[in-house]
Amino acid sequence: MKKAIATAPNKPTKHMTMKAPEVAERKKQEAAHDAEEKATGYIRKRQAEYPAVGDQLDAILKQLNSMRLGGTPMIQEMDDLLGEVLSIKAKHKKPTKAK
């Protein structure tokens, strides 16, 4: 069995030796971390690449408004939400690009 290297308190060391139970626990923790990453890592990768939530919502609301204007009935809450969003957009217009 390996022994820990004695050092002065609060002094960094270049090498640290762990005892067998510590090594086993560390390997167990690493395996659990690897399993978690394998199971859920795709979530973080997707989130990093998705468009901003505001852009996603804007596209959805534009599509719903287009459907509404085309005669597709909307539930009252959606109709109210679209009216509110369009009112705010009319109040704070996007600047036009100079040619």
Q: How is the chain split into domains, by residue range?
A: 18-50, 53-91
Report yes or no: 29 and 35 within 8 Å, Cβ to Cβ.
Answer: no
Q: Is the pLDDT reported for residue 7 higher than 90? A: no
* Alpha helices, H only, the chain: 20-49, 53-69, 76-91
Classify residue 98 by its DSSP letter.
Answer: P
Average pLDDT over residues 36-56: 93
Average pLDDT over residues 23-44: 91
d(CA 3, CA 90): 73
Q: Is the pLDDT reported for residue 8 higher than 80? A: no
Q: Which of 71, 68, 94 is nearest to 81 (CA)?
A: 68
pTM: 0.57
Q: Which two tokens stand for residue 71?
A: 């005669």
Q: Which of 52, 53, 74 is nearest to 63 (CA)?
A: 74
Instruction: Lowest mean pLDDT of 32-41, 47-56, 81-90, name the range.
Output: 32-41
